[in-house]
Structure 1
Amino acid sequence: MPPLLVALFLLHSCFPQGDGHLREGLTLLKTEFALRLYQSVAAGRNGTNFVISPAGVSLPLEILQFGAEGRTGRQLADALGYTVQDQKVKDFLHAVYATLPNCSQGAEMELACSLFVQVGTPLSPCFVEQVSWWANSSLEPANLSEPNATTIPANAGASRQTAGEGPVGSPGEQVGATSAQLALVSTMSFQGTWRKRFSPTDTKLLPFTCAHGLVLQVPMMHQTAEVNYGQFQDAAGHQVGVLELPYLGSAASLFLVLPRDKDVPLGHIEPHLTASIIRLWTTSLRRARMDVFLPRFRIQNQFNLKSILNSWGVTDLFDPLKANLKGISGQDGFYVSEAIHNAKIEVLEEGTKASAATALLLLKRSRIPVFKADRPFIFFLREPHTGFVFSIGRVSNPLN
């Protein structure tokens, strides 16, 4: 059975049994999407830092599903593993997105999508209505066919609080096409306050061994705390430690995945990550009192999703001769010209600058287990109620 049929069968088999089973099925599919996205990005970045938001990538694809038909629609469903054309899926995801602003106690999460549409293009009223209430999304007019068009701001949508607000622009690359076009810009950002904050006075310069063996002195945060922790094996038998650090208000948790063997690179673990493994790890952690060492880091990336989606078989969407987006506009040749994604994450001691590292190094505590992220690690930001992964990435060098 093709992967799409398997995914859709898994999802539909959950429907008759209630929202709990629907949530479980969607969580597995969205986690699989997140890991596939992570693995696609990791394969092309040669051990460097990155963060990408599966939620920020899936959001515009979901919006396009409202208007995609035929093979274009099937390719999108194959990439996502589900379709928002199903009323139960649509209602459930809409409810999830509607609660995101309520997760702001101690955490700031922003998920937005701007769809820039060629000026004068007739749009389906049904599609316009769908976009107006789907997450933090908006339609913006733009002149996409001019060779000397200005650029869409890289952070378009990042500061938007309600649909319809924000700057108007056009895509960065000179398209120069005469067909009607659509450009998508999605953005996800997160900054949260730890449930148990790291003290800036405990941050010291400690060694961090990068992917290629370079040893750097980096600001390393520290705390002794009751945390959720577990030790596991991946499908290839590699041992990993998994630590959960919750944010204030239980809006989200940051999970850290660290190879226990310092000689095992992340590249040996990344290909074996699956949704089932992530579910096992996140549900099997146990409370433990530990010394936690975590480097401060800030990562911001911009990606052209077109190349990633093309590698997944989503090709018709970007082809003016093949795209079938008649549910968006009945105009022939309507297609997606650009798909740009921005994501960022900042991890520090509640935003306070650390003092100079002039004190003695922290004492070792022989009877308390230690989680020390002093080498490359994987992180993912997970919403606890749905289990959705909102961002995922890798830290190879905290100073970059």
Structure 2
Amino acid sequence: MKITVYISFLLAGLHAVAHGQVSPSHQKGHDPNEHKYHMRHRGEAIACLKLVPNNADFAFQFFKEVTLEAPNKNIFFSPVSISAAFAMLALGARSTTQTQILEGLSFNLTEIQEKEIHEGFHNLIHMLSHPENGVQLNMGNAIFLTEKLKPLKKFLDDAKALYQLEAFTTDFNNPTESEKQINDYIERKTHGKITHLVKDMDPQTVMLLASFVFFKGNWEKPFKPEHTEEREFFVDAETTVKVPMMHQTGRFDFYFDEELACTVVRLHYNGSATAFLVLPAKGKMKQLEQTLVKEIIQHWSDHLFQRMLSLYFPRFSISGNYEITNTLSKMGIVDVFTDQADLSGITGAPELKVSKVVHKAALDVDERGTEAAAATAAEIMPVSLPPTIEFNHPFLMLIFDRDTNSTLFIGKIVNPTLTS
């Protein structure tokens, strides 16, 4: 009988998005300061760049699986959080279990060595935890262990060095106390955005792994609260809800994808993060979500152009709470959840398996931005009214880190009035 391990992956909330000029994976139009920043981090960037295509493949494959499981619900998760946590778990996995985890994360082990994967994640976590000014982004991992479970020194040392792991002793025989310890830690690390991550814990649990990402950004050009008004949002053919719709007229990065029948608007945060807002034509969401791959994002990046728009975008807060064991199993990560699991690299003995994987995420989007800088710009408006783009039916929101090209968050907003 295997000892079970409870794993939780989570992340916390965003505040607002901003307007700029650099795509997540097709960087052009850098200013000199941005170039210097990239040169300073060149070594780290090279190490983690090898991960980028694989992490992106995992992100969109996971998205497809989740949308199939919950076709008409809000979705929000952090693929980079899940990837990093399972890569850390692979440190302690052996034989087929390890191979399944790494291949399930979309790594081709004939093209990239395990050592390169761990070094890449080490540099990725470091870069994401030290972003440019304007974005607050914290990423880390924690392990909670029963006192009787003695992990191998090599596993703990490697996990601390590569994945910024923090280790804590926990009495799982006292579920109330252990839940409080874990939830308090996560709440503190995510600045109050993720609460009550774990509940109804099994007293048989001997170890819990947690991965967190906290992100907060501001718009370069904030929406003015006085321009926000209540407007209709069409959830589906039968359901209409009222939402606070933010409004701004100006020049935005824009593209219409005729093949996928969707409108793309790219917005930037102050700092190194960027977002794609993707509005499919009514009835075209399923086609979009099942064909979305990294090459499509690249195509959008390459074909965006500046256009004067009257943009309406809802103010909303949503969260996602997932038990993702089945999702990962469908993606090939199977043995680690069964008695076939080999996690002997953690304790030296094979009597360990993962019992449960929880991923919790939260997203806030509002008008907030930075204080006005000491500069004045006069926007010349055309006499004719610009075209209106209104995000008033289900849309996607994809958030990237430009310095690492990492997919930080993927969201599908079906009903912005529902918090989950």
**In the alignment, structure 1 residue 396 sits paired with structure 2 residue 418:** no
Which residue pairs with 1:159 in the alignment?
188
Q: Deviations over 1:299-339 (max 9, x none)?
A: 122212222212223221122x3111121111231222332
Residues 1:325 and 1:75: Cα distance change in structure 2 (over 3 Å): same
Residues 1:64 and 1:85: Cα distance change in structure 2 (over 3 Å): farther
**In the alignment, structure 1 residue 307 sits paired with structure 2 residue 346:** no
Q: Deviations over 1:201-244 (max 9, x none)?
A: 111111111135312221111111222111114xxx33111111
Matches within 5 A, 1:203-352: 203-233=228-258, 237-249=259-271, 251-259=272-280, 261=281, 263-319=282-338, 321-350=339-368
CA distance in 1 between counterparts of 2:286 and 2:198 reads 34
Secondary structure, counterpart of 1:48 in structure 2: coil
Deviation at 1:109, TM superposition (A): 2.3
**In the alignment, structure 1 residue 67 sits paired with structure 2 residue 96:** no
1:113 to 141, 145, 162: 141
Which residue pairs with 1:89 in the alignment?
117
For 1:388, the aligned partner's letter is S
For 1:200, the aligned partner's letter is P
2:207 to 158, 182, 185: 182
1:102 to 115, 118, 130: 130
For 2:80, the aligned partner's letter is A
**Contact 1:230/1:286 (<8 A) preserved:** yes
**Contact 1:113/1:157 (<8 A) preserved:** no
Matches within 5 A, 1:355-366: 366=384
Identity of aligned residues (%): 24
CA distance in 2 between counterparts of 1:111 and 1:211 reads 36
Which residue pairs with 1:55 in the alignment?
80
Calculate the TM-score normalised by the size of structure 1. 0.80
**In the alignment, structure 1 residue 46 sits paired with structure 2 residue 65:** no
Residues 1:393 and 1:20: Cα distance change in structure 2 (over 3 Å): same
CA distance in 2 between counterparts of 1:92 and 1:271 reads 29
Which residue pairs with 1:141 in the alignment?
169
- List gaps (5 residues or longer) in structure 1: 1-17, 162-168, 353-363
Aligned length: 356
CA distance in 2 between counterparts of 1:374 and 1:365 reads 26
**Contact 2:243/2:417 (<8 A) preserved:** yes
Q: Which one has more relative contact order, counting CA pairs under 8 Å at least 6 apart?
A: 2
Calculate the TM-score normalised by the size of structure 2. 0.77
Aligned-pair Cα RMSD in Å: 2.9
CA distance in 1 between counterparts of 2:201 and 2:95 reads 29
**Contact 1:318/1:337 (<8 A) preserved:** yes
Which residue pairs with 1:164 in the alignment?
none
